[in-house]
């Protein structure tokens, strides 16, 4: 075998080695990219978590508003008697001295109990 034949043979072997190295590097690159695109820490998952967070924040804001309202009602009940009287009228149908209880039955539909309190002089 001549010199040039050995050179050609070694170049062909070198090309095969380069192809093998390229394939191995591509495989390693794909293996490293997989978690970024498809695993639990992927950017798809991050977008989904951001959407869930926004919906939870809306619910949290509604609950905070409700808690603020309840706190105001508790404070009103603790400080004055006007709120207690209003709750007794609305929920228990109670009337105070000098008031008349009126029950209005609507003309159409099912009868509904409506408390109307009027002052009698």
Q: Output the pTM of the full model.
A: 0.47
Distance of alpha carbon 5 from alpha carbon 98, whole angstroms: 123
pLDDT digits (tens, 9 = 90+) for 75-94: 988 888 788 888 888 788 78
Mean pLDDT of the chain: 81
Domain residue spans in the chain?
3-94
pLDDT of 111 higher than 70: no
């Amino acid at each position: 075998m001549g010199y040039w034949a050995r050179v050609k043979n070694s170049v062909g072997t070198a090309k095969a080695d380069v192809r093998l190295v390229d394939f191995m590097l591509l495989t390693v690159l794909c293996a490293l990219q997989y978690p970024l695109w498809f695993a639990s820490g992927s950017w798809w998952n991050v977008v989904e978590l951001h959407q869930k967070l926004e919906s939870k924040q809306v619910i949290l804001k509604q609950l905070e508003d409700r808690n603020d309202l309840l706190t105001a009602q508790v404070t009103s009940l603790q400080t004055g008697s006007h709120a207690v009287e209003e709750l007794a009228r609305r929920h228990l149908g109670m009337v105070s001295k000098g008031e008349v209880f009126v029950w209005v039955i609507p003309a159409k539909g099912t009868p509904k109990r409506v408390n109307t309190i009027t002052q009698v002089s």
